[in-house]
Structure 1
Amino acid sequence: MDNKLQAKDLINVGIFTALYYVIMFAGAMLGYIPVLFILIPLYMPIITGIPFMLFLTKVKKFGMVTIMSLLLGLIMFATGHTWVPIMTGAICGILADLIFKAGKYQSLKHSVIGYGIFSIWIMGAMLPLWIMRDSYIAYIRNSMGDEYTNAVLALTPDWVAFVVIGAAFAAGIVGAFFGKAVLKKHFQRAGIL
């Protein structure tokens, strides 16, 4: 099997990145409610599990998931987020790619765990709440107002960061199984068992 990325692979990455982002953007609109903003890493990997697991039926080469996660991080940055989603996208994408490769792109177990790891990338949008708190809170206050900001502050003591990272991983596991159940025939055709 040729391990170099071909134009067809990059087209698949582009199509599935766009699909994933559109679904993610629609789901993120719930973040206008403060408690749902904090829960984005819990529900987002579940609703994006279907397009991502469909993408995995097309992934047979190392780097495709990393490119997708970097593109998602860059889109987040271009739409007003900090640089952190680019970093989390790179780290989670490479780790997920390594897991998928270890399963030779055919292992359901590796696909589920890999998606769990990949799903942590979304924390890049939220980590500034803890790692650059003052400037990020000022940004939220300017764009969303005092009431919203105070609600977010009340919901995000330091220890919540660890809970939310764990929740993103767990939601990725759930999203992977959900996506696999919906796409059962695609998984069979792709030989992912």
Structure 2
Amino acid sequence: MNNKLQTKDLISVGIFTAIYFVIFFACGMLGYIPILFILLPAYMPMITGIPFMLFLTKVKKFGMVSIMAILLGIIMFATGHTWVPIATALIFGLLADLVFKTGKYQSFKHSVLGYGIFSMWSMGAMLPLWIMRDSYLQYISNSMGDEYTNAVISITPDWAAVAIFFTAFASGIAGAFLGKAVLKKHFQRAGIA
């Protein structure tokens, strides 16, 4: 088996990155409600678990998941977020890729764990609330107003960052199971996966 990424692999990465981001963006639109903004890492991985588990049926080579993660981080940066999503996407995308490789891209146990890890990349959108709090809150205030900003401040104490990281991981685990169930019920029956 050729372990080098080929054009068809990169096309799969591009297609699934686009699908993933469209769903991610749609989930993010709920962020106009402050509590849903903070809980994005809790519900987004469950919904995006469906296309991601379908993507894993196409992944047979190391690097495909890492490329997807980096592209997602770059898209987040290009759409107005800080540089932090690029860093978290690189870290958690690479760690997830290593987990998937350890399972030879076939193990469901490794797929579940890997997607839980991958899902933590989304914290890059939230981390500026804690690591560059003043400037990020000013940015939020300028775009969303003082009332929204005050609501965000009230629900983001220091300990919340750690809780949301673990929530993103747990949601990724749940999303992997949901994605696998949908994959088995619909996509395999249709001959897509």
TM-score bracket, shorter-length normalisation: over 0.9
Q: Which residue of 1 aligns with 2:33?
A: 33
Q: How far does residue 138 in structure 1 lie from its aligned partner after superposition?
A: 0.3
**Cα offsets for 1:141-179 (capped at 9, x unmatched):** 000000000000000000000000000000000000000
Q: How far does residue 190 in structure 1 lie from its aligned partner after superposition?
A: 9.8
Gaps of 5+ in 1: none
1:3 & 1:125 partners in 2: Cα distance?
A: 33
1:60 & 1:166 partners in 2: Cα distance?
A: 28
Indicate yes or no: 2:152 matched with 1:152: yes
Aligned-partner residue type, residue 119 of structure 1: S
Asked if the contact 1:180–1:187 (Cα under 8 Å) also holds between the matched residues in 2, the reply is no
Gaps of 5+ in 2: none
Q: Which residue of 2 aligns with 1:174?
A: 174
Aligned-partner residue type, residue 146 of structure 1: D
Question: Map of 1:101-116 to 2, 5 A cutoff?
Answer: 101-116=101-116
1:130 & 1:55 partners in 2: Cα distance?
A: 32
Q: Which residue of 2 aligns with 1:65?
A: 65
Asked if the contact 1:85–1:124 (Cα under 8 Å) also holds between the matched residues in 2, the reply is yes
Cα RMSD (Å) of the superposition?
1.5
Q: Percent identity?
A: 74
2:17 & 2:192 partners in 1: Cα distance?
A: 20
Q: How far does residue 74 in structure 1 lie from its aligned partner after superposition?
A: 0.1
TM-score, normalised relative to structure 1? 0.96
Q: How far does residue 14 in structure 1 lie from its aligned partner after superposition?
A: 0.1
Q: How far does residue 184 in structure 1 lie from its aligned partner after superposition?
A: 1.1
Structure 1 segments, 4+ long, off by >3 Å, are 185-191
Indicate yes or no: 2:30 matched with 1:47: no
2:136 & 2:173 partners in 1: Cα distance?
A: 29
SS at match of 2:158: coil
Q: Which residue of 1 aligns with 2:184?
A: 184
Q: Which residue of 1 aligns with 2:75?
A: 75
